[in-house]
Amino acid sequence: MKCSEFLNELTNYLDGALDARTKSELDNHLAWCHNCYVVCDTTRKTIEIYHNSELYELPDDLRARLESAIMSKCCAHKKSEPPTS
Amino acid sequence: MSTIQPNIEQPVSEEMALVRRAKRGDDQAFEELVRRYDRNVFRIAQHITQNREDAEDVVQEAFLKAYSNLEKFQEQSKFYTWLVRIAVNEALMKLRRRKPERTVSLDEEVKTEDDSLPREVADWSPNPEQMYNQGELREILTRTIQGLPAGFRTVFVLRDVEGLSTEETAQALELSIPAVKSRLLRARLQLRERLNRFFQKRASGDGDQ
């Protein structure tokens, strides 16, 4: 297996979306190819860091304000719409 | 030929029960859906628009659209997936308005930049979380993901930040599964490559900048 072939399957490999045979071929490649091992490992870390990063959390006060604005817009919409059926 | 159709009703998920109550005009049920998903929609919107005010608008517009079109929701996907589709479209529209010189669409940016074969490969050790404090790391992650094309960023955020499945991401973005996988691979590799510039540098002791 070439490195480019390994990289093409990297997403499926990391997501556990491969059949046993292909996974085993990739495992074998990783066992001897240090570059692909590092790319695989640091890509996994990239995903984990972003997944756990809590970027753009919605602060409580803004959340309360948004929820209230949404519901009052929904109520206004309901009143402006004639009842169906 | 008789149809072998098991007459077993699918158990209604808690989410779908709320949706059905909301469809019958129960606003408290809709409010519960808002509370359940507003944080996710806000995160997705801010990741796509990269602007907090736009993200606030997207949250409001997405829920209002969902509310006013609830009758049209066919219940063939999760409500959340349907809501994400609305929110992503709203967010992309904001981005288009802000960057009128460039057309922003999920179908752009499939250019084949050679990002697949990293040249310098070094491990990240110690872990980035140990190398930087939370504020520094947040700044690096924000700047790095901002540099990704919108089409890649959106797929990455839905799949890897929000944890939607590949199928749900495809539904939400109206893309094929191979297209989602291809963008996800490129997004992941490009992010890794960009983060590598920070983490590899620090790990090899090349100084602060």
Please state, in angstroms and as integers, the Cα–Cα distance from residue B155 to each residue in B38, B43, B79, following that order.
19, 13, 19
| Residue pairs spanning A and B at CB distance below 8 A | 125
Interval A55-60 mean pLDDT: 92
Contact B127, A45 (CB under 8 A): yes
Structural domains of chain B, count: 2
CA distance B88 to chain A (A): 16
Contact B162, B83 (CB under 8 A): no
- How does residue A79 score in pLDDT terms, banded at 50, 70 and 90? confident
B151 and B76 belong to one structural domain: no
Interval A13-41 mean pLDDT: 94
- The predicted pLDDT at position B127 comes to 79
Question: Mind listing the pLDDT tens digit for each residue in A10-21?
Answer: 999 999 999 999
Q: Which of B38, B60, B141 is nearest residue A63 as measured by Cβ atoms?
A: B38
CA distance A4 to chain B (A): 7
What does residue B21 show for φ and ψ, rounded to 5 degrees?
-65, -40
Which ranges in chain B belong to alpha helices (H)? 14-23, 27-49, 52-68, 79-98, 128-131, 134-146, 150-156, 166-173, 177-203
B92 and B29 belong to one structural domain: yes
B86 and B40 belong to one structural domain: yes
Question: Across all residues in chain B, what is the average pLDDT?
Answer: 85
Question: Across all residues in chain A, what is the average pLDDT?
Answer: 91
B39 and B90 belong to one structural domain: yes
Question: Mind listing the pLDDT tens digit for each residue in B122-155?
Answer: 788 777 878 888 889 999 999 999 999 999 999 9
Which has more pLDDT, A45 or B203? A45
Poorest-confidence range of A16-20, A57-61, A80-84, B179-183? A80-84
Whether B132 maps to a domain, the answer reads: yes
Scanning the structure block, which residue is given the tokens 């996800």? Answer: B184
CA distance B13 to chain A (A): 23
Just give the CATH number of A3-80. Answer: 1.10.10
- The predicted pLDDT at position A84 comes to 56
Q: Note down the domain range covering B153.
A: 128-203
Whether B151 maps to a domain, the answer reads: yes
Whether B119 maps to a domain, the answer reads: no
Q: How far apart are CA B82 and CA B142, in angstroms?
A: 27
ipTM field: 0.88
Q: In A, residues 15-54, which contact B (CB 8 Å cutoff)?
A: 15, 17, 34-35, 38-39, 41-43, 45-47, 49-51, 53
- The predicted pLDDT at position A20 comes to 96
CA distance A29 to chain B (A): 15
Whether B192 maps to a domain, the answer reads: yes
**Which stretches in chain B have pLDDT values below 70?**
1-10, 100-120, 201-209
Whether B58 maps to a domain, the answer reads: yes
**Cβ separation B116–A8 shorter than 8 A:** yes
Contact B153, B48 (CB under 8 A): yes
B145 and B186 belong to one structural domain: yes
Q: Mutual orientation of helices B177-203 and A34-51 as an angle, nearest 10°? A: 100
Could you tell me if B138 lies within 8 Å of chain A, comparing CB atoms?
Answer: yes
**Cβ separation B188–A46 shorter than 8 A:** yes
B94 and B136 belong to one structural domain: no
- The predicted pLDDT at position B131 comes to 82
Closest-CA residue in chain A for B139?
A: A55
Report the percentage of chain A scoring pLDDT > 70: 95
Domain CATH code at residue B186: 1.10.10.10
A84: left (phi over 0), alpha (psi -120 to 50) or beta: beta
Boundary of a domain, candidates B80, B98, B116: B98
Whether B93 maps to a domain, the answer reads: yes
**Cβ separation B60–A58 shorter than 8 A:** no
B74 and B33 belong to one structural domain: yes
